[in-house]
Chain A
């Protein structure tokens, strides 16, 4: 097991290296340097001033040198200096991280608590009204643009009913637990929606597969109650692939956070990404994308390890 984890960890290194090249190349392909934002605004800027600005940001050097400088610094945990704020990118991401993790964490937990029972009941009561409604709802959820669902929630709960605040993490000057909870409900609902839909469908089909197995029939014939058979024998086995998919999705929640945080003015990394995009803050963009990619790669490994650990039929080799 340990050897497997070490082997997989070592395999991550060339992948991360390749990712860094792709991200760097794509950002390099951007038309107009960081001075573009100034020129976009129609300001008149002295060409000499632009040259000085570029030299200061270090974008006047050859591309290859820039890449290796960036890579070298990254290996020591330095993601560069933001064009916009002149502050270390690493610090900026770290600052925004708690809010993003809070949102992602709550969404993940909510999604798991709702999706798994939903999938189990749908499978046990296959073709029942419950199954029909749950499956239909998950189809609708998947067919909805995430941001539109967020807008609809804002319209009904903030504008019409005025129950929940439109945006932000807390009311200035209030900020108690209830107040914070009120602020996070809608963003968490939006961010977890796709996961609930996806995971419950996955859990349903996994359960259906397990319920047809011989060992379930054996458990029934031993005289165990239906409840025991389902909760002990079926759910446990059916969850193995679902847990692995859920782990993979943690990294995907980050993509969702970009949109969700933007709609709800949530001051996390996702919203900072959109702000960095508008400001053409390349070091910040690269830093956030590198972080997102690393998350994908790491959770990929975690998912495989969990799968191998939970399912003894999978060999480590």
Chain B
């Protein structure tokens, strides 16, 4: 609504010969995002980190599973910048390889949670009545069981691999999104353009996807960003308890699995994977904060 008014004003100003550029929504958002310095720095850092992790086979100094019994438990040095573990494996190499899995788990689990949450929330909000009632009671139910203990129990059933972790985390992290989306849809669906679309004979599915969801995309995107960080942290917590992705595949989480035992003698094995998680999640959350400001039409 606001955008339309601005556009009309811009056009009338332009008609009066005053040089006003029409700016698209995406461009406005992009310019606002660039003003959030921390978010910009975080984005650059993350891009670099992701690039390094995914190019690990090319740039990593060693093989991630190369056991070197002559060099076990070595403190950081020139040969092994971040030291080696109990099997003499290079920590930096494993961090790079581990990042691929951890970041992928974070992204996909958050995506899954967001998609499920958006679907449930939009169906509940759009159709209302008993559908809404049923789905929201389901959401209440899922909210009422403490998530972490639940995830812990389910992951303890099998030797989990990355896909299993993604499914478990993703399927238990949709509730917040569902509630936010439902609330947003309840307010959006009263707008005239939704009534107009319905009057023109548009089907429900089309109305939701084409007219309603784009108008609430900001809350979905911000929620999804925060979900990435949460998923990375949950994966590491599960791994710490010995329930994450099984070795030898390194993830930042399972590199911390035995850290409590080795911490006093080889602290670098604990410090560096934790720092990797901390920095990544911090950057993701800063980006989320920047997106929130950039996507908020009232700022």
Which chain A residues have a beta carbon within 8 Å of chain B's beta carbons?
15, 18-19, 22-23, 26-27, 29-31, 139-140, 142-148, 151-152, 154-155, 159, 251-252, 254-255, 258-259, 262-263, 273-274, 277-278, 285, 288-289, 292-293, 296-297, 300
Contacts and interface: CB of A to CB of B under 8 A. Distances in A.
Interface in B36-75: none
A266 B287 CA distance: 37
B146 A22 contact: no
A12 to B, nearest CB: 10
A82 to B, nearest CB: 16
B263 A258 contact: no
Residue of B153, B157, B241, B271 with highest tally of chain A CB at under 10 A:
B153
Contacts of A154: 260, 263
A144 B270 CA distance: 13
A155 B153 contact: no
Contact of A139 (B137, B145, B286): B286
A148 B256 contact: yes
Contact of A293 (B144, B152, B241): B144
A292 B285 contact: no
Contacts of A19: 141, 144-145
Contacts, number: 126
Contact of B274 (A148, A252, A285): A148
Interface string B137-149: 1001101111111
Contacts of A26: 150, 153-154
Interface of B: 137, 140-141, 143-150, 152-154, 156-158, 229, 233, 236-237, 240-241, 256, 259-260, 263-264, 267, 270-271, 274, 277-279, 281-282, 285-286, 289
30 contacts: A19-B141, A19-B144, A139-B286, A140-B282, A143-B229, A143-B233, A143-B278, A143-B279, A145-B233, A147-B236, A147-B240, A151-B259, A151-B260, A151-B274, A152-B270, A154-B260, A155-B271, A159-B267, A251-B146, A252-B146, A255-B147, A263-B260, A273-B149, A273-B152, A274-B152, A288-B149, A292-B146, A293-B146, A296-B146, A297-B144
Given A145-B236, A148-B277, A285 B270 contact: no
